[in-house]
Amino acid sequence: MAFDYDLFVIGGGSGGVRAARIAASEGGAKVALAEESRMGGTCVIRGCVPKKLMVFASGYHQQMGDAASYGWDVTSGKFDWRKFRTHLHSELDRLEQIYRDNLTKAGVEIFDSRASLADPHTVLLADGRKVTAAHILVATGGHVEYPDKRAESFGISSNDVFHLDTLPKRLLIVGGGYIACEFACIFNGLGSEVTQFYRGAQILRGFDGEARGLIAEAMRDKGIDIHVGTTIIDSEKRGDGVWVKSSNGHEAVFDQVLFATGRAPNTQGLGLEEAGVKLGRRGEIVVDAYSKTSVPTIHAVGDVTNRINLTPVAIREGHAYADTVFGGKDIAPDHDLVPSAIFTQPEYGAVGLTEEDAREDHRIEVYCTSFRPMQSAFIGRSDRVLFKLIVDKDTRKVLGCHIVADGAGELIQLAGIAIKMGATKEDFDRTVAVHPTISEELVTMRTPIRTA
């Protein structure tokens, strides 16, 4: 049977675009891609990129104060949200065009349309057209989840943050994951009065306990009002704001309520189950090590599979798929020891196991130090940083590295290389320190603070 395309990709996010481009440019495949929204997906349009630019913007207020403490004559004005927002949207437009141009240069045909599956070889476009492909790749990412319909009626999500007309003076953030904590720090830095509700006992569940505690303490020190073990029990619109009553008795009126309570795989209405594709408990597409679904001609990469929901992972999965199916190679994406960063203030970088997880299967030594860095101690700021290595007693391999500090995202990328290579604690010890830096602590910690 002759097909219209060798590959049809549904979804124009990081994973789908990478797979399409590599299959076309390096694999010689005839490729088409459909995207119903904007090219670039969550990361470029409503996630990592605009969020990181907001992180940068939010940090300048403290930096100006620090500059004054260091002797500079600094006049700090008000933050102009609309000026920033205009520049932000222009940058996103530029990046989206780059994604489009790269696809076009590779020979990929783009459909600005919603697409779904009609059968294992047929894609149905929103205008009713049907096209066929030897292979179909689903890379539709995820979508935000509200706790319930009522929350959706008065709250906003992280998708809406970048389109606000005005900066909220009083903001409630519901959630305790990395998205909630990042935006709490961002809006606090931009001048909003931020309150955060989280139903759990401590923010950033699933990350290292010691790091979580230090970040929570730092956020509170910066004026973020964190309420753990807390949920909304009642709410109503009052004028231009929202009145909220919480389970701990707290009542207040907020200009905006931001729900950052999770994301779910974007699989609804795609015809997946009708085509025979197996879905998991949370609606994720179930795949094997090579991203193959239960239907041999259909693969899936990125957040829609709910494996490791990070942009670089989706890119690796998409590239490995194209190399394997169209490049004559045999490459399964490697999901082991993936570094990650949380852009709170201070940042948190992590790779490998948390101390809590390492205790379950290993005999471990924990090397950890926390201190006031020179830059902030000099001007009397109370900020603390943390460096932590978790070491297997028997093999001496470093099982996990955790850093809480400005620039932790940059540092963990480099530490991740060593740990991925199987570095031992003695390899770290043999490395000469760079002085004076905060990161020299990674190679100067000699005595474990505890063992298990």
142-191 pLDDT, tens per residue?
A: 999 999 989 999 999 999 999 999 999 999 999 999 999 999 999 999 99
Residue 76: pLDDT band (50, 70, 90) is confident
Rounded (10°) angle between helices 209-221 and 178-190: 20
How many Cα atoms sit within 13 Å of 152 on the Cβ side? 7
Distance in angstroms (rounded) separating the CA atoms of residues 307 and 75: 47
- Let me know if the fold of 5-143+264-326 is the same as that of 149-261: yes
The helix or strand, by DSSP H or E, that contains position 259, with its residue range, turns out to be strand 256-259
Tokens standing for residue 368:
């950890």
* Cα→Cα distances 252→193, 255, 261, 408, Å: 12, 10, 20, 35
Arithmetic mean of pLDDT, 126-152: 96
CA torsion, ordered 437, 442, 443, 446, to nearest 10 deg: 120
CA torsion, ordered 75, 76, 77, 81, to nearest 10 deg: 150
Tokens standing for residue 236:
């109503």
Arithmetic mean of pLDDT, 400-421: 98
* Cα→Cα distances 384→33, 80, 228, 239, 284, Å: 47, 30, 22, 41, 39
Quick check: helix, strand or coil at residue 197? strand
Beta bridge partners of 29: none
Checking if the pLDDT of 218 tops 80, the result is yes
Q: How many CB atoms lie within 10 A of CB 238?
A: 11
Average pLDDT of every residue of the chain: 97
CATH 3.30.390.30 for the 340-451 domain, yes or no: yes
pLDDT at 1: 76
Residue 84: pLDDT band (50, 70, 90) is very high
Checking if the pLDDT of 444 tops 80, the result is yes
Give 304-351 pLDDT, tens digit per residue: 999 999 999 999 999 999 999 999 999 999 999 999 999 999 999 999
**What's domain 5-143+264-326's superfamily in CATH?**
FAD/NAD(P)-binding domain (3.50.50.60)
- Sheet with 251-254, strands from edge to edge, namely 232-238, 241-246, 251-254
Contacts with 48 (C-beta within 8 Å, 6 or more apart), sequence order: 42, 311
Contacts with 437 (C-beta within 8 Å, 6 or more apart), sequence order: none
Where does residue 245 rank: exposed (0-12), middle (13-18), buried (19+ CB within 10 A)?
middle
pLDDT at 344: 98
The helix or strand, by DSSP H or E, that contains position 338, with its residue range, turns out to be none
- Active-site positions read 435
* Cα→Cα distances 239→155, 172, 256, 330, Å: 15, 16, 12, 60
Which pTM value belongs to this model?
Answer: 0.96
Arithmetic mean of pLDDT, 80-86: 97
pLDDT at 168: 98
Question: What is the architecture, at CATH level 2, of domain 149-261?
Answer: 3-Layer(bba) Sandwich (3.50)
Give 238-248 pLDDT, tens digit per residue: 989 999 999 99
pLDDT at 144: 95
Give percent of the chain above pLDDT 90: 98
Contacts with 361 (C-beta within 8 Å, 6 or more apart), sequence order: none
pLDDT at 349: 98
Closest CA to 42 of 318, 416, 311: 311
Closest CA to 352 of 427, 314, 403: 403
Checking if the pLDDT of 249 tops 90, the result is yes
Domains of the chain, residue spans: 5-143+264-326, 149-261, 340-451
Q: How many CB atoms lie within 10 A of CB 158?
A: 22
